[in-house]
Amino acid sequence: MPVRTMLAALAFAPLAIARTQAAAKPVSEVVDMLKEMQTTLEKEQKADEDMYAELRGWCKENNDVKSVEVSDGQARIQELTGLAAEANASAQSLATEMSALATEVSDATAALDAARVLHGNKVDTFNDNEKSLYKDIEAVEAASTAISGGVPALMQIPEGRLKEMSAKLQDAVTRRAQRLDNTLSVRDHERLEAFFQDPAGFVKGLSLMQAPIGGELAGMFEAMKDDFNVDLKALQDEMAKEQSTYDELMASKKEEIKAGPFEGHFGCRGLRAAFSQSLPKPF
């Protein structure tokens, strides 16, 4: 190589080196930048992989849980469907029973009303019969008291009082004629009939008789009074029995009515309990 050429090359060598170094610097920066980007991307990839693994695990876990919940929910739906059908059947059965019980209550109420009317009629009849018996006993007692003083005492009784006594006694004998058939003899009936027709004349006739018949008349009146008292006792006993039967019937029917269609054989609480048992249970 010629010297001039060599010198020229040597002269330009630093410049060429500088240019080469200048050209190499941007490449190095790019390489460094790429390495930095690679490092960043690797970190992000690692973070993404970690997040993916975490999310995958969470999804798998929740999928298992939700699958169980879905399965349980479907089973619960089937159970509730069956319970709803049972509840509907129970409701219909209870409605039928309540209707029957309402009819029973209606019948019991009607029976109660009928029993009240019947008992009221019996009480009225009893009161009339009792009053009549007391009246007849009083009439016989008045005659018995009058005769107990003997014929002289009878003679002192005013004619008007004798007629009143005779009328009351005649009413009693007429009302109790059938009862007195076995108590009074034919002679007793004849004496009573004579007294009823003419009380004052009958008393005067007694005063003229030699036979002491005052005791016989007193015995007759006492027998009549005993019969009437026996009848009164029987009437009162019968009424007491009737009252007891009536009270028991009233208590029984009132209990049935109190039970009513909302109580029935279960009672109100029982119906609610029976129905609530057939309702679906909450989750």
Mean pLDDT of the chain: 79
Is pLDDT above 80 for 268? no
pTM to 2 decimals?
0.55
Higher pLDDT, 52 or 258: 52
- The residue that leads in pLDDT, 232 or 1, is 232
Kindly tell me the burial class for residue 102, based on how many C-beta atoms sit within 10 Å of its own C-beta (0-12, 13-18, 19 or more): middle
Q: What's residue 22's pLDDT?
A: 54
More confident residue, 38 or 243: 243
Reported as a pLDDT band with limits 50, 70 and 90, residue 278 is very low
pLDDT confidence band for 236 (50 / 70 / 90): very high
Give the per-residue pLDDT at 269: 46
* Residue 17 scores a pLDDT above 60: no
pLDDT for position 125:
94
CB 140 within 8 A of CB 169: yes
**Range with lowest mean pLDDT among 16-20, 84-88, 181-185, 251-255:** 16-20
Comparing 107-116, 126-135, 154-163, 252-261, which segment has the lowest mean pLDDT?
252-261
Mean pLDDT in residue range 174-185: 90
pLDDT for 164: 93
Higher pLDDT residue, 183 or 14? 183
Lowest mean pLDDT: which of 12-26, 124-138, 157-171, 261-275? 261-275
For residue 280, which phi and psi values (nearest 5 degrees)? -60, 145
The DSSP string of the chain is: --HHHHHHHHHHHHHHHHHHHHHHHHHHHHHHHHHHHHHHHHHHHHHHHHHHHHHHHHHHHHHHHHHHHHHHHHHHHHHHHHHHHHHHHHHHHHHHHHHHHHHHHHHHHHHHHHHHHHHHHHHHHHHHHHHHHHHHHHHHHHHHHHHHTHHHHHHTS-HHHHHHHHHHHHHHHHHTHHHHTTTS-HHHHHHHHHHHH-HHHHHHHHHH-SS--HHHHHHHHHHHHHHHHHHHHHHHHHHHHHHHHHHHHHHHHHHHHHHHHHHTTT-HHHHHHHHHHTSPPP-
Q: Which residues are within 8 A (CB) of 98 and not within 5 positions of it... i.e. 6 or more apart?
A: 261, 262, 264, 271
Residue 219 half-sphere exposure toward CB, CA atoms < 13 A: 9
Query: How far is 196 from 179, CA to CA, in rounded Å?
Result: 19
Q: Is residue 280 very low, low, confident or very high in pLDDT (cuts 50, 70, 90)?
A: very low
Q: Residue 151 in contact with residue 207, Cβ under 8 Å? A: yes
Q: Which residue has the higher pLDDT, 125 or 273?
A: 125
- For residue 12, which of 218, 200, 128, 20 has the smallest C-alpha distance? 20
